[in-house]
Amino acid sequence: MKVPQLLIENALGSARISLFGGQVLSFCPRHDGRERLFLSSKALLDGSKSIRGGIPLCWPWFGAYQGPAATTPMPAHGYARTRRWDVVDITEQAGSTEVLLQLEDSSGPGFNGVAQVQVLINVGSKLKVGLYTLNQGPAAFSLSAALHTYFAIDDIHQTQLRGLSGLYSDKTQNWARLPTPPNYRFSAETDRIHLLAAPTVEIVSPASKITLESSGHDSVVVWNPWDNGSQAFADLAADEYQRFICVETALTQGFSLQPGQQHCLQQTIT
Ligand code: TA6
């Protein structure tokens, strides 16, 4: 079985969205015809696991489960990326198409809140993705989350990031806190949580640039498994680490959502 997908095409751009995971898999603005998102050639599109590429939605936690002891193993990055999302609405607007999806069932092991979870995807000359969490229950709940975006690049060795500064927490070095390099390039496995809400990050290649604007976050995660790390992923070809960089708009530092309140984690990709 192939996961159901929406194909969006309008005068300014096109996108492909999987209803499994509520995940954007492709985005191409017409003005330059350049794909902005990476999708692994080995990504499984049969609903048996999360899709390797595009914009996975990590919810209701980012990374390893940190909550109270659980009787069963908890999935990394929560369960929203492996669940079905329903189409609530699709509207044509001036120059863009807006798609609203809702997580069919937001309850699950490891999450004790009552929440409505929606993703609003606007496809035009830019791609805008907003992950909305509304607390519909009587009590506050804690939340961590991420838009775990895989950006398509020509060559990781020639890619540079701009817009990050301050300290990051390094997963490859037992979460040591280290200063962000002023000249941010890649030469080894990289798995970092930058502990600031950078509003804009640029992914710069010799011949092109992708701009990522974020809001509603407290961190930016940067990940590339490099050649050694890639071997751990059956759904990633050996050399594909060279053609993506994950730059993730994330909530990782402890966030509590009060009853009746809504939170939006948002990315705009140009
Ligand atoms: O966001 C970075 C990260 O958590 C890495 O540590 C790495 O494991 C990656 O995401 C991929 O995780 P996944 O569960 O999709 O295999």
Instruction: Pick from 50, 66, 77 the residue to mutate for probing ligand 1's pocket: most ligand atoms within 8 Å of its CB.
Output: 77
| Listed range (8-22, 66-80, 141-155, 193-207) with the worst mean pLDDT | 66-80
Q: Is the pLDDT of residue 25 over 90?
A: yes
Mean pLDDT score of the chain, rounded to an integer? 97
pLDDT band at 68 (very low <50, low <70, confident <90, very high): confident
Is the CB of residue 63 below 6 angstroms from any atom belonging to ligand 1?
Answer: yes
Is the CB of residue 248 below 6 angstroms from any atom belonging to ligand 1?
Answer: yes
CATH of the domain at 117: 2.70.98.10
Question: Which has the higher per-residue pLDDT, 155 or 2?
Answer: 155
Q: Which of 53, 1, 5 is closest to 233 using CA atoms?
A: 53
Nearest CA to ligand 1 atom 13: 76
Strand boundaries in the chain, DSSP class E = 5-9, 13-18, 23-29, 57-58, 85-93, 96-103, 115-123, 127-135, 141-147, 150-152, 160-162, 167-170, 176-179, 190-194, 200-204, 209-215, 219-224, 244-257, 262-269
Q: Which two tokens stand for residue 227?
A: 């050649």
Q: Is the pLDDT of residue 1 over 70?
A: no
Q: Which atom of ligand 1 is nearest to the CA of 63?
A: 4
Beta bridge partners of 103: 85
Model confidence over 88-136: pLDDT tens digits?
999 999 889 999 999 999 999 999 999 999 999 999 999 999 999 999 9
Nearest CA to ligand 1 atom 4: 63
Burial group, residue 18, by CB count within 10 angstroms (0-12, 13-18, 19+): buried
DSSP 8-state code for residue 220: E
DSSP string, 229-269: HHTT-TTS-TTGGGGEEEEEEEEEEEEEE-TT-EEEEEEEE
Q: Is the pLDDT of residue 63 over 80?
A: yes
Starting at the edge strand found earlier in the chain, the sheet holding 23-29 runs 5-9, 13-18, 23-29
Helix intervals (H) in the chain: 226-230
| Total number of domains constituting the chain | 1
Q: Which domain holds residue 128?
A: 5-269
DSSP 8-state code for residue 31: T
Q: What is the pTM of this model?
A: 0.98
Residue found by looking up tokens 């909550």 in the block? 67
